[in-house]
Chain A
Amino acid sequence: MLPRPSLKPKLIALLQQQFPKAAIPSTDTLAVGSFPDWDSLGHFNYLMLVEETFDVRFSLEEMSELKGLDQIAAALAGRGVEGL
């Protein structure tokens, strides 16, 4: 069985789409606060963009727990979303 392609490149592309003026640092642990524009409001908008892109819906609890790209990728994978 082939390994599942990673969701993170797409999530990083969405991050750039949500924050077009931000310089996104090259780190494996991107999360809220990784750069100045990524504040709580920006994160909420980002999660909505993720929902729209992958046609999923996060619960209120998930919205408060999903702080980093790894967690978001895992939540998406849990819904059967695969990397593009």
Chain B
Amino acid sequence: MTRTTLRVCGASHILPGAAAWARLEPQWALTFGDFADWPSALMTTSADPLLWILTLEDVLTPESLEGLDDVALDTALASLTAPLEARLAVSTEPTVVAWTTWRPQSAIASARRLSAWSNAARRLETLLYGLAARRPALHLIDLDVALAVDGLAAAFDSRNLYAAGCRFSRKGLARAVEAVEPVLQRIARPPKKVLVLDCDGVLWGDVVGEVGLGRIVLGGDGLGRAHKDIQRAARRLGRAGTLLALASKNTAADVWEVFERHPDMVLTRDDIAAWRIDWTEKAANLVEMAKDLDLGLESFVFLDDNPFEREKMRLALPEVTTLEPPADVTAWPSLIDSLDLFARFDATPEDAAKAQQYRSRAAFADARRGAGDETRFLASLDMQAVSAPLDATTLARAEQLAAKTNQYNLRNARHTAAELEALAASPTTVAFLTRLRDRFGDHGAVGLTIARVVGDTAFLDSFLMSCRVLGRHLDAWMLGRLAALLRDRGVRWLFAEFRDSGRNAVAGQCLAAHGFARWAGPEDDPLRRAVATLSAIEGELYLADLDTLEIPHLDLFHAPQTQPQAEAHRAPTAAVS
């Protein structure tokens, strides 16, 4: 496995080579600078992600706070974080700041008023989160929360400070690195999407098929309350965008009777995106559910109370993450709440609506199978598509789409939020997201289109669409919308590149199907030279003449009653000829 370089710097000595760092080494090639060289590490231009361990007391002494009002304090803190701001202004690579503000204080001294130190700590936190709101590359970790697991006093060691300049204890440094790891993992990998739950022993205690609806353990006090809280925790995940699924060896009617009739059920059938309730092996059922949802098995997390079922799942489907919960069921609600597997940096409205969208997708597939004539069926969907500009309100969703879309993705340009922000700010960019609504529901923002313009020529930087809406000819609408926006700018020639990833054949077919022709001109052709100024071409190059381009299937889409204000997009500017 190729490891990514991660530069690490600290305000305190952070003991390169200590055992604590070993947990990051399988994935990251750690490079440490010199002791306390954090300002230069932050200011050095580098293409590598960076981790800054900030121990506030190493950069701000308690004495320096004496006599400072809040304005002066904010100025001092801004001065401290200036190197960080400087890096974020020029680097789109992830920057992780893990900070601790803990220092021993008298409880009496802060019993009547906020101490100067605590005030500085709070204002630093406000400053950092304000910065994170403006800079998508910044990720923050409040180490005091992570270190509190063992007690803050145990996380620091004065002997290490005086012996080696390191404030952390051995255990504290290990906890700090442990806290950083999931954030680094999420930067590198997308979250899991599906939590598959067993029913007996998880959603409720005992076996419904044996004891019946009235005697399962659910609700009230004791274990029944724990099972109810497990459902609450699962529902919270579901409402935040994780798909919930059931894999239960049971009679389906027994399970649904509990869902519909038990007064203490928290989850409803509407919360469940997919299920297999039968006597088939659970691994085979997960494979079927993955097909239903059109998701890879690596997106699945499996929770079962039976160690035998868990072990079988690990052996049969190692790509599925099988949780190993503690034997004590009362710990399971907090286990689910603390799962990093599903956590996202920026939850979007689309995340929360995802379960509904997947159910819509299943209903669409059912209806299509029964409809016969495809054109008539599509016309009956009452499809309404609208575009929204790429801006601060849509950036997170655009990044999600760019990161996750594998099948309908023309070039697989995995733009980060920071790169998208830069593209959106450029006057030579035409970019929009596409939302789709039909009679099966609102599918949310499901398409991303980015074109870059030079003179009368444009290049399709990104053209991608969620697999949830494949088969509806939404790509035709997106191309039609792009063509209209480009014509408004005086663009005639639209280049597009297909980069074969091995998984995106469906996107590769779209260009020829929508009026593009494979480019066969010479390298020194003026048009070819123009596109070369916009992007290096590694795949198959196609060209469309917008003056004559006719895009099929546009009649399948109705205009919405009111087009959002955001539809205006960016007005042409002087920078575009």
Chain A residues 35-70 with CB under 8 Å of chain B are 41-42, 44-45, 48-49, 51-52, 59-60, 63-64
Chain B residues 1-41 with CB under 8 Å of chain A are 15-19
What residues of chain A lie closer than 8 Å to B18, measured between beta carbons? 45, 48
What residues of chain A lie closer than 8 Å to B163, measured between beta carbons? 44, 60, 63-64
Known: A18-B17, A41-B16, A42-B17. A48 touches B159 (CB 8 A): no
Chain B residue nearest to A63 (CB atoms) is B163
A63 to B160, CA, bound (A): 10
Whether the pair A44, B170 counts as a contact (CB closer than 8 A) is no
What residues of chain A lie closer than 8 Å to B16, measured between beta carbons? 41
What residues of chain B lie closer than 8 Å to A59, measured between beta carbons? 159
> With an 8 A cutoff between CB atoms, is B164 at the interface?
yes
What residues of chain B lie closer than 8 Å to A48, measured between beta carbons? 15, 18-19, 170
A45 to B163, CA, bound (A): 11
Whether the pair B15, A41 counts as a contact (CB closer than 8 A) is yes
A41 to B14, CA, bound (A): 10
Between A45, A48, A59, the greatest number of chain B beta carbons within 10 A of the residue's beta carbon is seen for A48
Whether the pair B162, A60 counts as a contact (CB closer than 8 A) is yes
Which one of B17, B162, B164, B170 contacts A51 once the chains associate, using CB atoms below 8 Å?
A: B170
Whether the pair A45, B17 counts as a contact (CB closer than 8 A) is yes
Chain A residues 12-31 with CB under 8 Å of chain B are 18
Chain B residues 148-195 with CB under 8 Å of chain A are 159, 162-164, 170
Whether the pair B164, A41 counts as a contact (CB closer than 8 A) is yes
A48 to B172, CA, bound (A): 12
Whether the pair A41, B159 counts as a contact (CB closer than 8 A) is no
Distance to closest chain B CB from A36 (angstroms): 13
Distance to closest chain A CB from B17 (angstroms): 5
Q: How many residues of B contact A (CB 8 A)?
A: 10
Distance to closest chain A CB from B20 (angstroms): 9
Known: A41-B164, A45-B17, A45-B18. A63 touches B170 (CB 8 A): no
A2 to B159, CA, bound (A): 37
A44 to B13, CA, bound (A): 12
What residues of chain B lie closer than 8 Å to A45, measured between beta carbons? 15, 17-19
Distance to closest chain A CB from B315 (angstroms): 31
Chain B residue nearest to A37 (CB atoms) is B17
Whether the pair B159, A52 counts as a contact (CB closer than 8 A) is no
Known: A44-B164, A48-B170, A52-B170. A60 touches B19 (CB 8 A): no
A41 to B18, CA, bound (A): 9
A63 to B15, CA, bound (A): 15
Distance to closest chain B CB from A57 (angstroms): 8
What residues of chain B lie closer than 8 Å to A18, measured between beta carbons? 17, 19
Distance to closest chain A CB from B34 (angstroms): 11
Chain A residue nearest to B163 (CB atoms) is A63
Chain A residue nearest to B173 (CB atoms) is A48
Chain B residue nearest to A64 (CB atoms) is B163
Distance to closest chain A CB from B488 (angstroms): 61
Whether the pair A44, B159 counts as a contact (CB closer than 8 A) is no
Known: A60-B159, A60-B163, A64-B163. A44 touches B19 (CB 8 A): no
What residues of chain B lie closer than 8 Å to A52, measured between beta carbons? 19, 170
Distance to closest chain B CB from A79 (angstroms): 16
Distance to closest chain B CB from A47 (angstroms): 9
Chain A residue nearest to B18 (CB atoms) is A45
A45 to B19, CA, bound (A): 7
Whether the pair B17, A41 counts as a contact (CB closer than 8 A) is yes
A42 to B17, CA, bound (A): 7
A9 to B213, CA, bound (A): 62
What residues of chain B lie closer than 8 Å to A51, measured between beta carbons? 170
Distance to closest chain B CB from A32 (angstroms): 14
Distance to closest chain A CB from B174 (angstroms): 9
Distance to closest chain B CB from A81 (angstroms): 17
What residues of chain B lie closer than 8 Å to A49, measured between beta carbons? 19
Chain B residue nearest to A40 (CB atoms) is B164
Distance to closest chain A CB from B57 (angstroms): 19
Chain A residue nearest to B164 (CB atoms) is A44
A63 to B19, CA, bound (A): 17
A43 to B114, CA, bound (A): 42
A41 to B163, CA, bound (A): 10
* 4 closest residue pairs by CB, A with B: A45-B18, A63-B163, A48-B170, A44-B164
Between A and B, 17 residue pairs with Cβ closer than 8 Å are: A41-B16, A42-B17, A44-B15, A44-B163, A45-B15, A45-B17, A45-B18, A45-B19, A48-B18, A48-B19, A52-B19, A52-B170, A59-B159, A60-B159, A60-B162, A60-B163, A63-B163
Given A41-B17, A64-B163, 7 additional A-B pairs, CB 8 A: A41-B164, A45-B17, A45-B19, A52-B19, A59-B159, A60-B163, A63-B163
